[in-house]
């Protein structure tokens, strides 16, 4: 699908993920799961009423089977989990309308995880992600925190092996303010030298604490044994040696390579429809232009190669 094409209002239903909507009958199924073993245990004690007990068991099993059929994803009443659209610049927007939630929960996922780290700059993806909220040309880090917290919201950035994420939680009435700050940190990260130095020192201290925790040491050893030379074997924080090699230019180059709208998914959950979400997101990110991907491709996991 080209950047100019839109998949407006495409529903994402449970059957797309192989899951089953059992929520409406979950309490009944839970009660049945408790009663079924009890009834089975009573069989020897009620030999005279064995026929009755069998009838009860049959009714319970029939109810479970019917409930599973009624609640199957193919049912006509099954609500879509979410709706998806792709904006003109390639940014993917997914909205799950949940009117029972008083807040809007939003997650921006960027395919810029630690698997994209160059071998000599392990930790680059993580430092890049965590510096997003540490200042822009319009807002200092303290101002970002103060503006979000003044309305009871939260904004954070993190990095995993496969993706970086920016999370926003805020009341719907304050959503325009939250999205304004979110778009600012995503589109205009400053990567100030003093913030880079502070973050790298923080990462080194975190790595030192990890070396003192047996569980972390065991997990790292297991990952290295399992994944070998694959990036999954390394912690997202990198190492003290490679962190010392990261420069402001490295961060800006990594950001320019991976932080593109066609490499981003925004998920919104709460009291908001797809049309509302698109109306708020599109004006803020319309100037974010896609670009050809010129970065290295992460190697395939050894486990996936074995399975294939």
pLDDT tens-digit series, residues 107-117: 999 999 999 99
pLDDT number for residue 207: 95
The predicted structure's pLDDT at residue 10: 59
User: For the chain, what is the mean pLDDT?
Assistant: 82
> Which pLDDT does position 151 carry in this prediction?
96
Residue 85, pLDDT above cutoff 90: yes
- What is the pLDDT averaged over residues 11-26? 48
Residue 71 has pLDDT above 60, yes or no: no
How far apart (Å, rounded) are the C-alpha atoms in residues 170 and 148? 8
Q: What is the pLDDT of residue 62?
A: 59
| Whole-number percent of the chain with pLDDT over 90 | 63
Cα 184 to Cα 41: distance, rounded to the nearest angstrom: 63
More confident residue, 14 or 137: 137
With a threshold of 0.75, does the pTM exceed it? no
- Joined together, the tokens standing for residue 67 give 């409930």
Between 251 and 46, whose confidence is greater? Answer: 251
pLDDT value, residue 101: 82
Q: What is the pLDDT of residue 43?
A: 52
Which has the higher per-residue pLDDT, 145 or 67? 145
> How far apart, in whole angstroms, are the C-alpha atoms of residue 33 and residue 14?
24
pLDDT of residue 93: 98
**Cβ contact 250:124 at 8 Å:** yes
| C-alpha triplet 95, 101, 105: angle, nearest 5° | 50
The pLDDT tens digits of the residues spanning 145-200 come to: 999 999 999 999 999 999 999 999 999 999 999 999 999 999 999 999 999 999 99
Q: Is the pLDDT of residue 120 over 60?
A: yes
Q: Are 186 and 166 in contact (CB under 8 A)?
A: yes
Tokens of 25: 């009958």
pLDDT at 240 over 90: yes
pLDDT at 292: 77
pLDDT number for residue 81: 87
Residue 76: the pLDDT is: 44
Q: Is 104 exposed, middle or buried (0-12, 13-18, 19+ CB in 10 A)?
A: buried
Number of CB atoms found within 10 A of residue 126's CB: 26
Highest mean pLDDT among 24-38, 53-67, 208-222: 208-222
Per-residue tokens: 29: 């199924």
Whole-number pLDDT of residue 36: 53
Give the burial class of 289: count Cβ atoms within 10 A of its Cβ; 0-12 exposed, 13-18 middle, 19 or more buried. Answer: exposed
Least confident segment among 54-58, 110-114, 280-284, 293-297: 54-58
- Give the model confidence (pLDDT) of 194-217 as tens digits: 999 999 999 999 999 999 999 999
What's the confidence (pLDDT) of residue 184? 98
- Residue 75 is predicted with a pLDDT of 45
> Helices 26-41 and 50-70: crossing angle, nearest 10°?
160
Structure letter (DSSP) for residue 271: S
């Amino acid at each position: 699908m080209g950047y100019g094409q839109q998949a407006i209002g495409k529903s994402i239903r449970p059957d797309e993920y192989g899951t089953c909507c059992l929520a409406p009958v979950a309490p009944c199924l839970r009660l049945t799961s408790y009663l079924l073993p009890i009834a089975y245990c009573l069989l020897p004690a009620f030999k005279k009423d064995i026929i009755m007990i069998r009838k009860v068991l049959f009714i319970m099993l029939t109810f479970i089977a019917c409930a599973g059929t009624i609640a199957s994803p193919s049912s006509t009443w099954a609500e879509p989990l979410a709706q998806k659209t792709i904006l003109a610049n390639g940014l993917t927007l997914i909205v799950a309308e949940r009117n029972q939630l008083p807040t809007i929960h939003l997650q921006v996922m960027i395919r810029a995880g630690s698997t994209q780290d160059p071998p000599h700059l392990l930790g680059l993806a993580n430092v890049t992600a965590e510096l997003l909220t540490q200042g822009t040309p319009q807002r200092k880090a303290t101002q970002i925190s103060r503006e979000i917290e003044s309305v009871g919201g939260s904004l954070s950035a993190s990095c995993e092996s496969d993706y970086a994420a920016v999370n926003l939680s805020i009341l719907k009435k304050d959503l325009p303010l939250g999205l304004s700050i979110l778009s600012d940190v995503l589109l205009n990260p400053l990567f100030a030298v003093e913030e880079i130095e502070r973050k790298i020192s923080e990462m080194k201290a975190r790595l030192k604490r990890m070396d003192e925790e047996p569980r972390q040491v065991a997990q790292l050893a297991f990952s290295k044994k399992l994944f070998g030379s694959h990036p999954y074997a390394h912690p997202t924080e990198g190492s003290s040696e490679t962190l010392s090699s990261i420069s402001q230019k490295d961060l800006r180059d990594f950001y320019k390579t991976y932080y593109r709208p066609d490499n981003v998914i925004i998920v919104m959950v709460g009291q908001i429809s797809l049309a509302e979400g698109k109306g708020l997101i599109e004006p803020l990110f319309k100037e974010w232009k896609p670009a050809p991907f010129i970065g290295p491709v992460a190697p395939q996991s050894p486990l996936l190669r074995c399975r294939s």
